[in-house]
Amino acid sequence: MSLRSYIVSRVLLTIPMIMLLLTIVFIILRIMPGDPALLHFEKNVDPAVLASFKARLGLDKPLEQQYFDYLTGVFRFDFGLSMQDFQPVSTQIAARFPATLELTVYSMAYAVILGVFLGVKSAKSYGTVKDNSIRTFGIVTYAIPVFFLGMVLQMIFGIWLGVLPTGGRYSARLTPPPTVTGLYTIDSLLAGDLFAFITSVRYLILPTVTLGTVLCGIFIRLTRTNMLETLRQDFVVAAQARGLTDNSVTYRYALKNAFLPILTMIGLQFAALLAGAVLTETTFSWDGLGTYLVDRISRRDYTAIQGTVVFFGILVTLVTLIMDILYAYLDPRIRL
């Protein structure tokens, strides 16, 4: 099968997956006990007020009409109005998403670099104290709750040492860099403001290290396993016999051939990070989609919850599709 045919088939398979996702979210949020509009009001509400509230949000329509409006709205990136302030949910998501994306990108980079490096070191030191120590580190970091690690780092570096901020995305006493991409580190560089860049990096360090450290255990184990197999291959032995340096054999030959499964895991974990940074964002008061979702749940904002969950689901599906295509491009055997 050609790469073009593979891409077409994967895209066609993704469409029903997205439709199934949208349908499941729609059904689950409507079979939950209680009227979502009524639950929005903490006390008894006048029936006329409730009817007006439902009409404004489109919740007074028949269920099939709500489903059709919901689907057409999603494909226009219109997730309806928030029950809390009647602002477009899509606008609120767009305002919060850059913060989550920035945290996710840096956390993933940190996790991959640390995990792959330690995984290679562990494989090359197979059976030694170094190998066992790295494996133990990977197991412990993967098992530790992310919020607990975050609070420990806040205590050490934020309170005891006082070298890093314990929460927030930018100093409340300073004006953030002009918004271009919504990613403060990028926007500050585009504005040529080195001080703003350093400030945004300081606020990124603790949440990035927290989320990346918890995640790096997966890459340690995966890299170690694949490197152990690759280092025993004939082409590696031949490269060593030709007198190539140890680093050249390890990183240019062995790691390159062992990297495909790691690449797949990067895509899967990146998608999971986008949807799973809720605890980290809450721990560090990071103004992203995770804290937005928690806030809307506490306010019983049914439409905002639905829009955020759907957005995360579509995003994960699209990232997975991109990684499938990239994997097929790098390894033609996948297309057979």
Per-residue pLDDT tens digits for 121-179: 999 888 899 999 999 999 998 888 888 999 999 999 999 999 999 989 998 888 889 98
SS3 183: coil
Statement: residue 50 has pLDDT above 80: no
User: Among 61-65, 103-107, 281-285, whose mean pLDDT is lowest?
Assistant: 61-65
Q: Which fold has domain 96-331?
A: MetI-like fold (1.10.3720)
Q: Is 210 exposed, middle or buried (0-12, 13-18, 19+ CB in 10 A)?
A: buried
Give the separation between CA 250 and CA 244, rounded to whole angstroms.
Answer: 10
| Mean pLDDT to the nearest integer, 224-232 | 87
Query: Would you state the pLDDT for residue 193?
Result: 92
pLDDT band at 34 (very low <50, low <70, confident <90, very high): low
Statement: residue 96 has pLDDT above 70: yes
**Number of Cβ within a 10 Å radius of residue 71:** 14
Domain boundaries, the chain: 3-75, 96-331
Q: Which two tokens stand for residue 139?
A: 């197991």
Q: How far is CA 122 from CA 136, 222, 234, 252, 268, in A?
A: 11, 11, 21, 17, 23
Q: What does pTM read for this prediction?
A: 0.86
| Mean pLDDT to the nearest integer, 13-39 | 80
Query: Would you state the pLDDT for residue 220?
Result: 92
| Mean pLDDT to the nearest integer, 9-35 | 82
Query: Would you state the pLDDT for residue 33?
Result: 67
Mean pLDDT estimate for the chain? 85
Statement: residue 335 has pLDDT above 60: no
- DSSP string for residues in 236-262: HHHHHHTT--HHIIIIIIIHHHHHHHH
Per-residue pLDDT tens digits for 112-134: 999 999 999 999 888 899 999 99
